């Protein structure tokens, strides 16, 4: 399997605080990786390092065969990697369609017509094309998150990173976002998802990575992780999360 993302002994400090330690990870083409673990364990830091939003300070990160060394490499990597955050980060002063066209125009230098066409294609894919001319505030949280996913897809990324995309949503909106993510997964997208949606993890993940205190404590198949977690820390975490 060709590797889209490789992390080798990656470490990251914020000042004196070691946020990531000795992270080793591979994500192959079409693979779905779910990352979970307690708050503060380094999940966001790890995926922010993958798309160059944070700079790691030891080890190597390789995105699509390129070792990320300079800011320039990080920018290039970011073009291959779509990212969806917990807070949707849409521009409030732009309509949905304009939110989707902006980066295509600025980064991909597309003309208006082709950017518009691509935007509508992905709005349809996340089943929200009828909202194209509204402003973000006029949409529900679940709809805004689907827009954020469509916006990332407009850049034609090789890999999609999700950082707790449903954790700010009301329960009835979580499933509409998970449906879109499931569609994407089934369509063959390479995905790294930080999520505590264990139903999604169990049905869609090829691999589950459990982090604690900046380290990967275990990497397992979903079946093993849920039925037979190896570490005491993962057992405790699962006990807590599955209670809810």
Ligand X SMILES: Nc1ncnc2c1ncn2[C@@H]1O[C@H](COP(=O)(O)OP(=O)(O)OP(=O)(O)O)[C@@H](O)[C@H]1O
Q: How far is the CB of 39 from ligand X (least distance, A)?
A: 3
**Among ligand X, Mg ion, none, what binds residue 14 when CB lies within 5 to 8 Å by partner kind?**
ligand X
Distances in Å between the alpha carbon of 109 and those of 94, 98, 105, 106? 19, 15, 5, 5
User: Residue 91 interacts with ligand X (CB under 6 A)?
Assistant: no
Pairing of strands 32-36, 3-14: unpaired
Structure tokens at 46: 């790890």
Q: Is 19 in the site for ligand X (CB under 6 A)?
A: yes
From the list Mg ion, ligand X, none, pick the one residue 19 interacts with, judged by a Cβ distance below 5 to 8 Å according to partner type: ligand X
**Interface of this chain with ligand X, residues 171 to 230, rule: CB under 6 A:** none
Contact range with ligand X by CB under 6 A, out of 40-48, 64-72, 92-100, 217-225: 40-48
Nearer to ligand X, 100 or 198 (CB): 198
Give which of Mg ion, ligand X, none residue 41 binds (C-beta under 5 to 8 Å, depending on kind). Answer: ligand X
**Residue whose C-alpha is closest to residue 93's, from 124, 151, 134, 154:** 134
222 binds, among Mg ion, ligand X, none (CB under 5 to 8 A by kind): none
Among Mg ion, ligand X, none, the one that 4 touches (CB under a kind-dependent 5 to 8 A) is: none
Cα angle vertex 82, ends 38, 6, to 5°? Answer: 65
Under the binding rule (CB under 6 A), the answer on residue 41 touching ligand X is yes
Residue 199 token pair: 């139903």
**Residue 209 has which token pair?**
């990575």
The footprint of ligand X on residues 42-71 (CB under 6 A) is 42-45
Two tokens at 76? 């290039």
The verdict on 143 binding ligand X (CB under 6 A) reads: no
Least distance (Å) between residue 231 CB and ligand X: 16
Give the contacts of 198 (CB within 8 A, at least 6 positions apart): 226, 241, 242
- In angstroms, what is the C-alpha Rg of the chain? 18
Where on the chain is the footprint of ligand X (CB under 6 A)?
14, 17, 19, 37, 39-45
């Amino acid at each position: 399997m060709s590797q889209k993302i490789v992390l080798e002994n990656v470490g990251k400090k914020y000042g004196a605080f070691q946020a990531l330690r000795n992270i080793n990870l591979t994500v192959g083409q079409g693979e779905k990786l779910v990352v979970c673990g307690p708050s503060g364990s380094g999940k966001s830091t790890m995926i922010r390092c993958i798309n160059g939003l944070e700079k790691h300070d030891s080890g190597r990160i390789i995105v699509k065969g390129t070792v990320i060394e300079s800011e320039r490499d990080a920018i290039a990597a970011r073009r291959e990697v779509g990212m969806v955050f917990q807070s949707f980060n849409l521009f409030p002063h732009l309509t949905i369609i304009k939110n989707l066209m902006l980066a295509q125009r600025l980064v991909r230098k597309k003309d208006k017509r082709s950017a518009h066409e691509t935007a509508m294609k992905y709005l349809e894919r996340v089943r929200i094309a009828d909202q194209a001319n509204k402003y973000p505030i006029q949409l529900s949280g679940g709809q805004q998150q689907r827009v954020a996913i469509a916006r990332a897809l407009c850049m034609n990324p090789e890999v999609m990173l999700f950082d707790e995309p449903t954790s700010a949503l009301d329960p009835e909106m979580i499933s509409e976002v998970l449906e879109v993510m499931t569609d994407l997964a089934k369509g063959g997208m390479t995905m790294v998802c930080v999520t505590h949606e264990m139903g999604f993890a169990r049905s869609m993940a090829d691999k589950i990575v459990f982090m604690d205190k900046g380290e990967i404590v275990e990497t397992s198949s979903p079946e093993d992780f849920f039925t037979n977690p190896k570490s005491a820390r993962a057992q405790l975490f699962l006990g807590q999360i599955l209670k809810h």
